[in-house]
């Protein structure tokens, strides 16, 4: 019997660990560590992107948040390549069009007294909008899917933290 069937998160954890360690190996092989603040920040960003990318690819395209994260990372990479090659277009001639996403908002009329239920509904909508900003791809989700994706995203972030802690503990023991 395959142990990953007993604990489905173990396969996610192993896929993430494999991808993340491979990415860390590439980062470490690039050049020696410098102590300048700029180099430290660039290294931090590379590790953060490696962690996000590893998690998104480990989940594969089964989840909306992972697809949104992969798209964001790919588009950021394409923009960086265009900027480095000097081919970056001006914002007015860009062929990529962005559409503003409509969000639900609550406006209480100034002369109207709001009931407790209306205030709670308004607060709930604000909290849902805040959640939409945190979860990758959440802007386009209805509330039910948003809550489901949020639960899975939290589970994956927890896995990411566990793996990173294990890596740090391993290297602290080897010193």
Contact call for residues 77 and 101 (beta carbons, < 8 A): no
- C-alpha torsion 43→44→50→55, nearest 10: 170
If pLDDT is split at 50, 70 and 90, which confidence band does 136 have? very high
* CA angle 102–107–112, rounded 5-degree value: 155
Contact call for residues 146 and 138 (beta carbons, < 8 A): yes
- Averaged pLDDT for residues 147-167: 95
For 7-57, how does the pLDDT look when each residue is reduced to its tens digit (9 = 90+)? Answer: 546 789 999 999 999 999 999 888 777 788 988 898 899 999 999 999 999
User: Tokens 């609550």 identify what position?
Assistant: 106
Tokens, residue 162: 């566990």
**Residue 77 DSSP one-character state:** H
Q: Which burial class, exposed, middle or buried, applies to 106 when counting CB atoms under 10 A from its CB (0-12, 13-18, 19+)? A: middle
For 84-132, how does the pLDDT look when each residue is reduced to its tens digit (9 = 90+)? Answer: 776 544 444 444 433 344 344 444 444 445 566 777 788 888 999 999 9
* CA angle 75–76–78, rounded 5-degree value: 60
């Amino acid at each position: 019997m395959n142990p990953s069937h007993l604990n489905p998160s173990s396969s996610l954890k192993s896929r993430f660990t494999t991808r993340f360690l491979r990415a860390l190996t590439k980062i470490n092989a690039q050049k020696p560590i410098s102590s300048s603040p700029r180099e430290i920040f660039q290294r931090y960003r590379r590790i953060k992107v490696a962690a996000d990318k590893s998690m998104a690819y480990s989940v594969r395209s089964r989840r909306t948040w992972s697809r949104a994260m992969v798209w964001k990372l790919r588009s950021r990479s394409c923009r960086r390549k265009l900027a480095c090659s000097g081919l970056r277009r001006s914002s007015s001639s860009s062929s990529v069009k962005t559409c503003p996403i409509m969000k639900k908002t609550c406006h209480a009329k100034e002369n109207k007294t709001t009931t407790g239920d209306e205030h709670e509904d308004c607060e709930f909508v604000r909290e849902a909008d805040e959640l939409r900003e945190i979860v990758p791809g959440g802007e386009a989700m209805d509330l039910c899917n948003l809550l489901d994706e949020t639960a899975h995203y939290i589970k994956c972030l927890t896995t990411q933290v566990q793996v990173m802690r294990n890596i740090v503990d391993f290297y602290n023991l080897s010193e």
